[in-house]
Structure 1
Amino acid sequence: MRIHKVHQLYKERLARSTKPFNARGANVNRCEFCQVHQDYCICEYQPEATSQAAFLLIMFDTEVLKPSNTGKLIADLIPETHAYLWSRTEPNADMLALLQDDSYQPFVIFPEEQIENKALVTNDIVVEEGKTPLFILLDGSWREAGRMYRKSTYLHQLPVLSFNRDHLSSYIMRKASKDHQLSTVEVASLVLGLFGEKENARHLECWFELFREHYLYSKRPVKGAERGMGLKRLIDFRTELKVNNEI
């Protein structure tokens, strides 16, 4: 399987721990990569895709250690996904250099209502010729993400991509969600769709669905349980994608 930046960050953060990180389900025998129960590991189905986009995950301190974290699913699909731990006082030098790299065009993905300077907010992705869009996701709880943005002055002059209610309502209707607080991977799927990479957006949705399904098995493993609709939909999508690419 392909080892990516979130896997590496997970190992680095784990090595720094002075005591075990006891998240819910800490006693489950998990795969070290996909973080679901070993009996329901999804690593053999890891996606292969190409993308004209890059993502930057700025992760709250313990977020990368949580088995339920969905940021890793973005890195599973999108080859150029960077990941760094957030620090209020000592932001990573490599991360700051990435944000200042002229070959990228950064967009912070964040709710408009929490942005004071509305002039920074856009609902469209317009990329200068020759540049790669760098979509920045603050990966943590909604409260943590708000704090991360407020305390990170290096983000305050960057364009903010915010989804209007039409985008959210359409997505939520398809996902049968009860509120507008989407997970990190769901937001990334929305971003890819808006950017025009519809196939990657759908692929990421299917990958998330498989992870979510097998993660539930991790919480309550059932001996001999058959894999369900998540795997079927992923396989059906990849079959459809292969056929379309051969036409």
Structure 2
Amino acid sequence: MNIYLLTHSRELKRKTNTGVLVQQTLATQCSIFEWQRKQPNPTLMQHIQNESVALLYPHDHSVRLDKQQVLKFDSYILIDATWQEAQKMYNHSPYLHDLSKVVLKPDVASIYTLRRNQKTSGLCTSECVSALLNLYGQTTQANILDNKLTSHIKSLR
């Protein structure tokens, strides 16, 4: 499983960003692509064309991701930004519109409390990737990522 983080330029500068935790934990399984409104990243576009890629994004047409669904895809794109930025990024990125869309339905609330205007059922980037890892049976990496997130949150309070 590969994770592609489509990251807003402002997100790359935020101390509250959790995509960096994903990159640190997954190293070769995670790539960060800075989102450009006018020109999609050519490497990301190659991945979309050559792999079975799903967009993890809450949308009207999103399918709930479970242990059966997760095996249908080689890779996942996550939009790494605030909720408001993520919606704008999606709307301005037609190449994302035709991708299969999947969504996680968390059993527990997010522990991420570093930003205002959070969706009540939403997860931060790190929590989403941790849930994916658990669905893939990669619980050790998921636990490492969860521990990094907890430490990250504590360090910023």
Runs in 1 of length 4+ with deviation above 4 angstroms?
175-178
Question: Structure 1: how far apart are the matches of 2:26 and 2:96?
Answer: 22
State, as a whole percentage, how many aligned pairs show the same letter.
25
Question: Structure 2: how far apart are the matches of 1:121 and 1:152?
Answer: 20
Give the RMSD, CA atoms, in angstroms.
2.2
Question: Structure 2: how far apart are the matches of 1:156 and 1:195?
Answer: 25
**Corresponding residue SS for 2:39:** coil
**Corresponding residue SS for 2:52:** strand
Normalising to structure 2: TM-score of the pair? 0.83
> Is residue 122–residue 159 contact of structure 1 (8 Å, CA) maintained in 2?
no
Normalising to structure 1: TM-score of the pair? 0.55
> Is residue 77–residue 204 contact of structure 1 (8 Å, CA) maintained in 2?
yes
Q: Is 1:83 matched up with 2:48? A: no
- Which residue identity does 2:55 align to in structure 1? V
Corresponding residue for residue 197 of structure 1: 138
For the pair shown, the structure with the greater C-alpha radius of gyration is: 1
Corresponding residue for residue 58 of structure 1: 6
Q: How does 1:1-247 map to 2 (within 5 A)?
A: 53-79=1-27, 80-101=29-50, 104-111=51-58, 114-115=59-60, 118=61, 121-124=63-66, 125-127=69-71, 133-164=74-105, 168=106, 170-172=107-109, 175=111, 179-216=120-157
Which residues of structure 2 form unaligned runs of 5+?
Answer: none
> Is residue 107–residue 136 contact of structure 1 (8 Å, CA) maintained in 2?
yes
Question: Structure 1: how far apart are the matches of 2:139 and 2:52?
Answer: 20
Deviation at 1:126, TM superposition (A): 4.0
CA distance 1:196–1:213, shift in 2 (3 Å) = same
Which residues of structure 1 form unaligned runs of 5+?
Answer: 1-52, 217-247
Which structure: greater strand fraction? 2
Question: Structure 2: how far apart are the matches of 1:186 and 1:56?
Answer: 15
CA distance 1:155–1:212, shift in 2 (3 Å) = same
Deviation at 1:176, TM superposition (A): 9.2
Larger RCO of the pair (alpha carbons < 8 Å, separation 6+) = 2
Question: Structure 2: how far apart are the matches of 1:127 and 1:181?
Answer: 23
Question: Structure 1: how far apart are the matches of 2:79 and 2:112?
Answer: 24
Deviation at 1:199, TM superposition (A): 2.0
